[in-house]
Each structure stands twice: as C-alpha cells, then as structure tokens.
C-alpha cells in the first residue's frame, strides 16, 4: 500500500512538471467553459448543466489520451521503466500507483471545473443533486479513459501511437450507439453494443439516476484495462 502511495505521489507531482499537462488543462477548461457560458448558457437563458457535462465528456475524450500517453511510453523510451519495476514494489502496485495519480490529476481538473456550476448558480435555481451526479458520471468516465490511456501507453514506446490508440478506443466506446445506428443488428448484438457504450451509462448517471448497473459497467471497464496494463508489462518476462 505504501508503494502505491509513493508511486502515486511521485507520478501526481510529475504531471505538474510537464508543460503539456498545463497546456491541455488550460485549453480544455478554458474552451469548455467559454463555449458553454457564451454559446449555450446565456443565449438559452436556461440554467441547464447537461450541455456542460457533454462538453466536458467530449473534451476528456481528447485531453485524457493526450496526458496519459506519456505514462509508460516515456518511461520506456527513456529506459526508466525497468528501473521502476525493480523497485521493491509489485508490478500491480506500480500500475495502480500510476493509475491513481492520473485519477487524482483529472479529479483535480473536474474540481476546478466546478467553478462554472458554482458561478452560474447565481443566475437561478441550480439542481445540485443532478450536478453532483453529473460529476460522479464524469469521474467514472475519466477513470475508464485513464485506464485505457495508460494501458495503451504501456503497449508502445511511441507516445503518438499511444495517443492515437487511446483516442480511437475512447471514441469507439463513446460512439458505439451511433455506430450501431448505421446498421441494423440482431437483438443480442444490438443490446451488447448498447451496453458497451460509455455515453449510454453516462447519460443515465448525468440525469440524476445512480444505477448499480452503470457503476458495475465502469468498474468492469477500469478493471479490464488495468489488468491488461499489468500483463502487458509482463512482456519483459519473455524469453
């Protein structure tokens, strides 16, 4: 546990040493906030945060792969991954430490984005229960995207390849419903595709309904990619 904490701490502060993390965080929050406030909130005259959550969701589709792409790829490129894995900690502790650092970093970004619901609450009656559920949904989506981003980063030395792969997988999971709309599928497959869609589960939470099925879906996705991440690291054990 101490190992996880030490790695998480090191990795978390590592984000703040990277100019790219600042750059993406500023662009992401600035663009999403300004777009929402000037293009949606005031023109509509309605205190409805759903479009803001959608903006954040699609913004995270881009920013999370951009920030997590260096997680393992950079270590591999610099050769520090072997060193890291020889520390007196288990492989899964390293994976979990890195993952928790990413989660804390994006959690912090979400906390900062809370300035928008707070400031706009001055304009009318904010539905706080729905806002908090929306944030829970965003946290779960970011948790899944981070797991995907880090796993893709563990797959390759190239940050660009890791970025593109995560982008494609996240987009695939976000757009499955629309993809399914292109072709008529048999019931079983249609249900399966629908169930795999991240947006489908997010929409349910963002409207204020916390359903155990949605939580289990996200936890499954996170667990799947973290285990995959750990076993991709095991490739160094090849003969």
Residue 110 CA to residue 115 CA, distance in Å, equals 9
Q: What residues contact residue 183 under an 8 Å CB cut-off, 6+ apart?
A: none
Shortest distance, position 60 Cβ to other proteins, whole Å: 14
* CB-CB neighbours of 79 under 10 Å: 9
User: Which positions from 129 through 168 interact with other proteins, judged by CB under 8 A?
Assistant: 129-130, 132-133
- Judged by CB under 8 A, the stretch of 32-40, 55-63, 144-152, 162-170 that binds other proteins is 32-40
Residue 66 CA to residue 21 CA, distance in Å, equals 8
Per-residue binding string, other proteins, 74-93, x by CB under 8 A, is: ------------x-x-----
- Judged by CB under 8 A, the stretch of 60-68, 73-81, 151-159, 214-222 that binds other proteins is 214-222
Shortest distance, position 164 Cβ to other proteins, whole Å: 23
HEC assignment per residue over 103-129: HHHHHHHHHHHCHHHHHHHHHCCCCHH
Residue 123 CA to residue 57 CA, distance in Å, equals 24
Output 11 or 197, the one with its CB closest to other proteins: 197
Under DSSP, the state recorded for 237 is G
Output 146 or 222, the one with its CB closest to other proteins: 222
Per-residue binding string, other proteins, 166-185, x by CB under 8 A, is: -----------x--xxxxxx
Q: Collapsing DSSP states into helix, strand and coil, what is residue 236?
A: helix
58 binds other proteins (CB under 8 A): no
CB neighbour class for 223 (10 Å; exposed up to 12, middle 13-18, buried from 19) = exposed
48 binds other proteins (CB under 8 A): yes
Output 99 or 217, the one with its CB closest to other proteins: 217
5 binds other proteins (CB under 8 A): no
């Amino acid at each position: 546990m101490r190992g996880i904490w030490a790695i998480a701490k090191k990795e978390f502060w590592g984000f703040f040493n990277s100019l790219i993390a600042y750059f993406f965080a500023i662009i992401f929050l600035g663009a999403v906030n300004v777009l929402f406030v000037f293009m949606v909130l005031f023109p509509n005259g309605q205190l409805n945060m759903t479009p803001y959550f959608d903006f954040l969701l699609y913004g995270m589709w881009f920013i999370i792969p951009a920030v997590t792409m260096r997680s393992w790829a950079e270590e591999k490129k610099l050769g520090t991954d072997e060193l890291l894995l020889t520390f007196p900690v288990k492989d899964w502790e390293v994976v979990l430490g890195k993952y928790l650092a990413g989660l804390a970093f994006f959690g912090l970004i979400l906390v900062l984005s809370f300035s928008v619901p707070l400031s706009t609450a001055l304009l009318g009656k904010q539905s706080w229960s729905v806002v908090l559920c929306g944030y829970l949904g965003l946290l779960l989506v970011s948790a899944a995207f981070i797991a995907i981003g880090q796993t893709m980063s563990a797959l390759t030395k190239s940050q660009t390849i890791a970025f593109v792969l995560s982008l494609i997988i996240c987009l695939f999971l976000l757009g499955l419903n629309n993809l399914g709309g292109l072709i008529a599928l048999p019931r079983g497959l249609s249900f399966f595709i629908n169930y795999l869609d991240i947006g489908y589960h997010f929409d349910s939470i963002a409207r204020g309904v916390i359903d155990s099925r949605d939580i289990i879906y996200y936890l499954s996705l996170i667990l799947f990619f973290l285990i995959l991440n750990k076993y991709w690291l095991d490739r160094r054990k090849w003969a």
